Structures are given as C-alpha cells and as structure tokens.
Amino acid sequence: MNVAVYDPPEPTASAETAPSDRVVDRTPSEVASDLSGRGIDLVAPEAADLLLTVGLDGLRAAVIADEQRPLFPIGIDAEWSPAATDVDGLADTVSQLADETASSLPTTAHRPLELSVADTTATAVCDCTLLTTQPARISEYAVEIDGLQRAEFRADGVVAATPLGSWGYARAAGGPRLAPDTGVAVVPIAPFAMQADNVVATPPLSLSVERDTEVTVFADDRRVVAGGSELTVDLSVGSPVSIVEGQWALDRQ
C-alpha cells in the first residue's frame, strides 16, 4: 500500500490556544524526512492509499478538505497515536501499515463537530471548548438537547468531545472515554460544585453561557470567538472520515 505524509496549508495563526498540551514539534516535512531516513518508501500525497496526518492541524486540514482516503493521525491526544518524535516506533508502525492492503486496513468512521456561533462557523475533530477568558473566573453554562435544557452548572468552562477527542482534555477534566459513533461527551471544567454530571449525547446540541462573563470558544486548539451571556454554540456532526483503528496501532507496538 502506498503511504504519504499529508502536508496541509499553513494554518491561520491564532492569538489564543486551548489549555491542553497539543503542540507537535515536528513538521510534516520533517516527519517525512525522518521516515525516509529509516528506509520507509513514501509517495506523493496524490498517489497515496493512506495519509499520515501530523498533529491536530494536519488531521483537521484533512477533515476540512473532505479527504476520503484513510487517515492515520500522529501526535494527537490519544494513547494509540504515536508521537512524532518517536521516529523508530513510528517507522515500525508505518512499515506494517504499508504491508497491508487498502481493503484489509482496519478503519473506523469518525465524525467531526461543526460549530456555529451566530455567523461564525468552525470544524473541530476532537473537541469544542468554552472557557472563561480571564483565568480562574467562573461562569454558568447550559446544555440543550432537542430543544430541552439537560444540564446547567457553574464552572471555569465546558468541553464537548468527540470519541476521538475523549482521550484528551475531556478525559483530564473527568469525562468518559467514548467508543466510535457513541455521541459527544459534555464535561464541566473545574465545576463549582461537589458533583457535576457529565452528559453523553448525540448532536445536534447547544452550549450556552448563562451569565455575563466573557467566555472564549475554541475548536480543538483554535480560538473561534469570544462573548458573554448572549453566546450560544450550536454543535452538529460533519461528514465522517476514515481513521485507522487505534487498537491496530497498540497491538503492533
């Protein structure tokens, strides 16, 4: 099977990033060079059967481009996603991937989140986060599903994670890990309560700010918009992308 490293356009710079460690210190071209140096034969992206995406920027760019070929994410917040800096381990995994055929490659369909905030839209492959703009400030949030309010809580923020993103920041905030195609986990961040319930729901759903505290909205690690009590984020699911199953990578490490 022909394998290539997906090299997306340069992302638009963002003044703010979400509060999670998602920085990948290798570029797609550097990863490609590392793999070639370990004897891995790579092809041009247009000739590939499988695309390796590097970091959230790479994965999100492939999703936004409506890429139909299978994707193998490198360097995202998931236990099964190999680190871009683990060159030897990554080369072993890619070598085994290349020995598969496109039809035998185990993949899972993952749906990204489509965000809508007034006239602003964005795509998130892992999560959407609402966070008070000033550190250590509490706001109040509501979760609405099918036109009915299902939860309301005071907290520093709230994160809605896809199954792919449920390994990362949402998990650190106390949320569950989700199997593919099981919905979205809505998790309060540092809730101002002894107990605050997580919600697992199937979009469409909405997250709203219920008090006049400025809150910033992030799609993955990219700032989307900021606002106060008038802010409502509508979430729906986008078209599915094909991701190489995480257990496949774990079993072959």
- Residues 105 and 160 placed together within one structural domain of the fold: no
Angle at 84 between CA 81 and CA 85, to 5 degrees: 125
- Residues 167 and 209 placed together within one structural domain of the fold: yes
- Residues 138 and 100 placed together within one structural domain of the fold: no
Axis crossing angle, helix 28-37 with helix 87-98, rounded to the nearest 10:
80
- Residues 141 and 230 placed together within one structural domain of the fold: yes
Question: What is the span of the domain harbouring residue 15?
Answer: 3-111+241-251
- Residues 135 and 104 placed together within one structural domain of the fold: no
CATH code for the domain in which residue 177 is found: 2.60.200.30
- Residues 204 and 229 placed together within one structural domain of the fold: yes
Q: What is the structure's pLDDT at 136? A: 75
DSSP codes joined into one string, 22-35: ----S-HHHHHHHH
Which token pair is 53? 């995406």
pLDDT higher than 60, residue 228: yes
Q: Indicate the number of domains in the chain.
A: 2
**Digit-coded pLDDT (tens) for 94-138:** 998 888 887 888 888 999 999 999 999 999 999 999 999 988 789
- Residues 117 and 230 placed together within one structural domain of the fold: yes
Give me the percent of the chain exceeding a pLDDT of 90: 60
Average per-residue pLDDT in the chain? Answer: 88
Contacts of 200 (CB under 8 A, 6+ apart): 176, 178, 182, 183, 184, 185, 186
- Residues 120 and 225 placed together within one structural domain of the fold: yes
- Residues 98 and 168 placed together within one structural domain of the fold: no
- Residues 166 and 77 placed together within one structural domain of the fold: no
Q: What is the structure's pLDDT at 12? A: 46
- In the structure, what pLDDT confidence band is assigned to residue 15 with cuts at 50, 70 and 90? very low
- Residues 124 and 232 placed together within one structural domain of the fold: yes
Q: Which of 91-100, 146-155, 193-202, 223-232 has the lowest mean pLDDT?
A: 193-202
Query: Computed over its alpha carbons, how large is the radius of gyration of the chain?
Result: 19
Cα gap 112→237, rounded to integer Å: 6
Q: What is the structure's pLDDT at 126? A: 94
Cα gap 125→163, rounded to integer Å: 9
pTM of the predicted structure, to 2 decimals: 0.88
Q: What is the structure's pLDDT at 89? A: 86
- Residues 10 and 80 placed together within one structural domain of the fold: yes
**Digit-coded pLDDT (tens) for 25-58:** 789 999 999 999 999 999 999 999 999 999 888 9
